[in-house]
Amino acid sequence: MQPRDPTSKPTFVTQPFLPPLSELLPSLEKIWETRILTNGGPFHQELEAELCRYLGVKYVSLFTNATVALITALQALKISGEVITTPFSFVATSHSLLWNNITPVFVDIDKQTLNLDPTKIEAAITSKTTAIMPVHCYGNPCDVDAIELIARKYNLKVIYDAAHAFGVECHCGSVLNHGDLSILSFHATKVFNTFEGGAIVSPNLEMKTQIDYLKNFGIDGETSVIEAGINGKMSEFNAALGLLQLKYIDELIEQRKQIALTYQSQLQRVTGIQVVGPFDQIKANYSYFPILITDEYRMSRDELYESLKSIGINTRRYFYPLISEFPIYQNLPSSDKSNHPEAFKLSNQILCLPIFPGIQTSVVKKVCALIEGD
Ligand code: T4K
């Protein structure tokens, strides 16, 4: 590969979309005028309502980030004991279990979708299992029907880590309407961002009310506290940003789609490169562009990662290493490599290519050409 031109800017794996600053100013003026900065103010309420409408879900509770939302969701459902989850995710997924004194039980992933393999879940269920926490990895939906059948059979709760799945729809509408709760991330690196932020999607008002108590210290009126809650509230600034982002979201997802299509068409001819997804979504969000570098490719995944990096193209190995390989998890019985061979293999082949609104087509084509071997 050609050495990097020191005057050229590096390409990131992702870059957040920012609306024109001038469009944010009226909201900031309102916040300055009213001095309502947080604790469920008007922007917070409006964003919850607008997200319900846009996402096609019944109830949304905004959070400061998805990690606190995951921790709170487990509290709201009173999950304990063991929870079946995927080792192929960002570490926040299983950290939320540890923060609740729950033991993660890692189960292998499906080699096509890279999501929890439902055919392997039942064998991992014990008398201590209380829930399943799958991840819609890269926004590709899990096999929600198969997971629901298992959950019903064994009376387990299902908490979807839907951090990547903003706006994703499957055969029966929003993927967020499956399971007992779904958790979204609005982090800067996500399709829809509020700088930092997240949300829990609840199926009924009772659950939303419970979650809203939990994210506000358990406060119920001026003189009453009914739960050992946490502070998980989103501020008015973040909510105002979110409302502005929503105006652009369809356009942003369309831009991502065009980038994904360019990658797909250019990379399909490269020996040893396998594009992951998109699968049977009715509506995808193109939040990541993952490829697998197989043994047939002319160099290893890490060699490709390093050579792209050396010329300023920053890809990411999401998710390598597996969560189960980190020192705090590696001694769990389910962390043994032999327990999830597919996840282990795929985590050594995965590479996420740069995808974000505003990336130039010429850059995308250059990345493809470099991968092809130009
Ligand atoms: N569950 C799942 C499945 C998740 O993937 C995540 C988060 C969570 C739960 C928890 O969600 P939150 O609690 O964060 O809401 C990033 C993100 O920090 C993390 O949110 C995300 N998943 C994870 C997959 O990726 P890093 O360490 O890779 O981010 P970083 O800082 O290296 O950023 C990646 C690239 O993005 C940089 O090369 C440059 C660009 N960037 C990043 C930031 C933060 C910008 O251009 N501007 C920015 O402000 O973890």
318 close to ligand 1 (CB < 6 Angstrom) = yes
CA distance 233 to 223: 19
Query: Domains of the chain (ranges plus CATH)?
Result: 21-245 (3.40.640.10), 249-372 (3.90.1150.10)
User: Which residue has its alpha carbon closest to ligand 1 atom 48?
Assistant: 188
Per-residue pLDDT tens over the stretch 148-177: 999 999 999 999 999 999 999 998 899 999
Per-residue pLDDT tens over the stretch 354-370: 999 999 999 999 999 99
Question: For residue 261, how far is the Cα from the chain centroid?
Answer: 21
AA letter at 232: G
CA distance 180 to 204: 10
**Residue 173 in 3-state DSSP?**
strand
Residue ranges for the chain with pLDDT beneath 70: 1-7, 280-281, 374
40 close to ligand 1 (CB < 6 Angstrom) = no
CA distance 202 to 311: 45
| Best residue for ligand 1 mutational test, from 184, 187, 289 (most atoms within 8 Å of Cβ) | 187
Q: Extract the tokens encoding 154.
A: 């064994």
Residue linked to tokens 């502005």: 244
185 close to ligand 1 (CB < 6 Angstrom) = yes
pTM confidence score: 0.97
CB 276, CB 129: distance < 8 Å:
no
